[in-house]
Every structure is written in structure tokens, then in C-alpha cells.
A and B are shown apart, each in its own frame.
Chain A
């Protein structure tokens, strides 16, 4: 019996959350932009693509309350739940990344839908070669999922108090960093570093962050109760 496979099946049965809703959100954003572009006759560069990335973050947050109590009550091990859920998110991220590449190619091939709408094919994001573009899409989606998943697991283990403390800690850390940057006058260096960065290069920096989120959420889920 494949225990991780069962967790994959559990998520696959929820086509709404993993497939229908994200593409509905992306689709409606696209259609609205297309109509506006059509009517205005102006070439638009839009950030509507962000919607699917943000949804991935939201999905990371809601997947635990939606499925963890159910899975654990139905005799699934926490480790298997974690592995299956992460695997499913990676598969979903890979699938979405490919779809976005295809849509980007179609957008370019149709001469930006005949209206000059830049929805999927955006400067910076599509600068690299096709493999680099895929990796950027994939790692960004995965990063956002794990970010949400880590928040969800803090809530699972420590409830509202945990989230409150975590938020305070993050605010404090940000403040300290800001003070440090301002006092040492690092702004120029930071700005330069970002200016030189490609989308692909940026996405590689996501890897260690993803790893930290993955470790934190695993440790918390192992100790979570129903």
C-alpha cells in the first residue's frame, strides 16, 4: 500500500482548490485585461499574472486546516501527510509553470492577442531561456506555497498566539534590518545587487528560503494534534 500515494489521491480529489479556482482567477483577470486592452486600444503591461502566484500562497495557508484534521483522523501518518502534500504542491507547481510558459509563448505568437496586451509575456520574467523561465515560474510558485504552508503549520501547532508572536518577531527583525541598513548606508549596494539580478538568478535565491520553510513546517506538523 502506497501511503504517500494516498495523500496525493486525497489532494487530487480536491480539483476545485488545486486546479479550477486558480485558473478561474487567472482566467478572469486575463479576460478583463483583454477586454480593457481591446476597448482602449492601448498596449497594456499588466500584473494580472500575479494572481496565480498569490493564490499559491493562499493555498499553502488553507491546505492544512482543510485536509490535516481529515487525514490524521483517517489514520494517515503525519510524515506521509507532509510528504504527500509537498509532493502534490511540487507537481502542481511544475504543471502550472509549464502552462504559464505555454500561455506566454501563445501570447508572443499571437502578437500579444492582437491588442498589445502583455499578460503572460513580461519583460524581466521572460528574459532568460526557456529552462530558466520554467525554473523561475516553478520556484516562485513553490516558494509561495511553502511560505503559506509554514504559516499554516505555525497556526496548526501554536494557534493564534503562535501567529501573533511570529508576526511580532518578523516585524522586529525587519525593523532591526532597516536600522542596520540605514545606519551602515547599504542602500546603494543593495539596489545594485538587485539591479544586476535576473529573474532566474533571483529564483535561485528562493531555494534556501524554501528549504527553511520546508524544515520548519515538517517539524511543526510532526508535533501537531487534531
Chain B
């Protein structure tokens, strides 16, 4: 099974409000996906439908080739970690981990124990009494140690400091290289995770805005900086997604590949060319609705 998830024309509406509108995409096995977009774009709703926690209004949804609803063959292969995960009031950290070891068939106890040490979690403390960051760490440990063939992290690190986030990325990439699986990361901290992501899906207003290989996407935009007149002459006829004037200087973001000819021209005009970070690119594409149509690659 090469496609772990196949979603076609998936729609979720609440009364008159359409949260997700005719979304179609595929997730291939053993890849790390970034599901990006603004708050309320519909990312969480999509992930909830994939894991059969919410019901789609219409559309076709196949996970591991089957309908996920009440399907234990599918559900047992999924681990979905979300920011707002609720736990029973009386549960301790240890209770969550012990139960996870019976719920997830691929659970690695040793790995979980290592992670508990890494994140310095108090095993006997009740979940309710954990700090926000520790609460998030428990989810991250479950997500990593479950080694589920489809692991989804939805904003998993509310309250986690930069050190703990770096630890999460390191452990994720280490363990992924030894135990490949499909991982979906949904986050706002795009720059932090951009080195991990192999494929990027951007959701905006309940629709798929971008669905592209991460490398392709990174190479699909760049910025030029220099004197306003020089920049203006360079960007003529190109798709401009941003414009930041600064005195007589101008920095412009451009989508499209940088050709050898462009590079020579830029050198001649004494312009500085630099890559646009994924975060900037996505902010540009999802920030201004009116520019989106003209600015989206292809």
C-alpha cells in the first residue's frame, strides 16, 4: 500500500459554515508531511476526519485503503496527538504510558522510557497537575513511542520551550530514519520544522492551496533586494508576492524558478538574491487573500 491516506472531495460543513470544502490529497507511505495553514483553516478538522473522530459531510476518505470509521485494522495503525488532548482526571503520566503500550501494537517501551528521561517527566504525577509544557511532552512521547504507521501531530507543543522542541525534532528524525512511517506535522512554527518536512500541504479557507514537494516549494520563490529602480526593472513581468520598500531600497518576493539569465541580470543590476524561507512564503500566500490567486505557484 503506497498511499496511506487518500482523500477526495472531502467536505465538512456545520450548518451554513463550510469548514472543509472539497479537499483532495494523498499521503504516501513513509514520508514526513507538513500540514500548514492559518488558525481555522480546517487542518484540525481534516485530521479529525482522517482518524474517524469527526464525520465528513461528503467525500471519500480511505486510510490504509479502507474506511476508518469503527475499523480497528485502520485505527490501530493510527496515533493522533493533539494540542488539546484530554485525559481522565485521575490519570498519572504512568497510567497514560502504560495504557498506550496496550493500545498501540508497535509501542516501544524502552524508547518511551528514554523519552521520559529526556523530557524529565514525573511519572507518578497526575496529568491534571502537569504544567502546560509537560502535558504536551506526554503527547509527544506517546506519538513517538507508538511508532504508528500513520502518526499525526497537531500542534503538539503548546507550552514547550525551545530546548524541548529541538529535542522533539531530533528524536523524531532519529527514530524516523530507523523506523520509517508516515508522519503528519501540523504547526505554525514552520521554520522550525521546515528541515524535517518532505512534502507540504497548505490549507487555506478549507481548501488545499499548495500540495507540493518541500524541495520544489523551497526553490519556487526567492527575494531580490537592491535600489528600487533596479529591483523594479528586474521584477517586471514576474509574479511578485511581496514588496517591502525601505527608503530608496526595495525588497521583493518573487515566485518562479530563478534562471541563469535572471541571475546574470541581477548581478548586472547589483541586486542581492536570497531564498525565501518556507514560513515567509506561506505567510505571503495565505496572508493576502487577493494576491493568492496570482501568487500561487502554477
Q: Could you tell me which A residues sit within 8 Å of B by CB distance?
A: 1, 3, 5-6, 9-10, 13-17, 66-67, 69-70, 72-80, 222-223, 225-226
Cross-interface CB contact of B70 among A5, A77, A225, A226, cutoff 8 Å: A77
Q: Which of A75, A78, A225 contacts B104 (CB 8 A)?
A: A75
Contact of B88 among A6, A66, A75 (CB under 8 A): A66
**A-B pairs, 5 with minimum CB distance:** A16-B90, A226-B53, A75-B75, A13-B95, A69-B86
Cβ–Cβ < 8 Å partners of B245 in chain A? none
The segment out of B77-85, B189-197, B248-256, B268-276 that lies at the interface is B77-85
Contact B82–A14 (Cβ < 8 Å) = no
B residues at A contact (CB < 8 Å): 48, 51, 53-55, 70-72, 75-76, 78-80, 82, 85-91, 95, 98-100, 102-105, 142, 148
Interface contact B75-A73, CB-CB below 8 Å: no
Residue from A3, A5, A66, A79 in contact with B89 in the complex, judged by beta carbons closer than 8 Å: A66
In the complex, which residues of chain B have a beta carbon less than 8 angstroms from the beta carbon of A3?
72
Is chain A's binding surface mostly helix, strand, loop or mixed? helix
CA A225 to CA B47, docked complex, whole Å: 13
A75 neighbours in B (Cβ, 8 Å): 51, 75-76, 78-80, 103-104, 148
Interface centre among A17, A66, A75 (most CB of B within 10 A): A75
Residue of A6, A17, A79 touching B102 (CB-CB under 8 A)? A6
Q: Cβ of B91 and Cβ of A225 under 8 Å apart?
A: no
Min CB gap A66→B, angstroms: 5
Given contacts A70-B87, A77-B72, A78-B70, list 9 more A-B pairs with CB under 8 A. A3-B72, A13-B88, A17-B89, A66-B89, A73-B51, A74-B99, A225-B55, A226-B48, A226-B53
Given contacts A1-B76, A77-B75, A80-B72, contact A13 B102 (CB under 8 A): no
Q: What are some 28 contacts across the A-B interface (CB < 8 A)?
A: A1-B102, A1-B105, A3-B72, A9-B102, A13-B98, A13-B99, A14-B90, A14-B95, A15-B90, A16-B90, A17-B88, A69-B86, A70-B88, A73-B51, A73-B53, A74-B99, A74-B100, A74-B142, A75-B51, A75-B76, A75-B78, A75-B80, A75-B103, A75-B148, A76-B103, A77-B71, A222-B70, A225-B48
Contact B53 A225 (CB under 8 A): yes
Q: Which residue on A lies nearest to B87, using beta carbons? A: A70
- Complex interface: chain A residues within 8 A of B54 (CB): 225-226
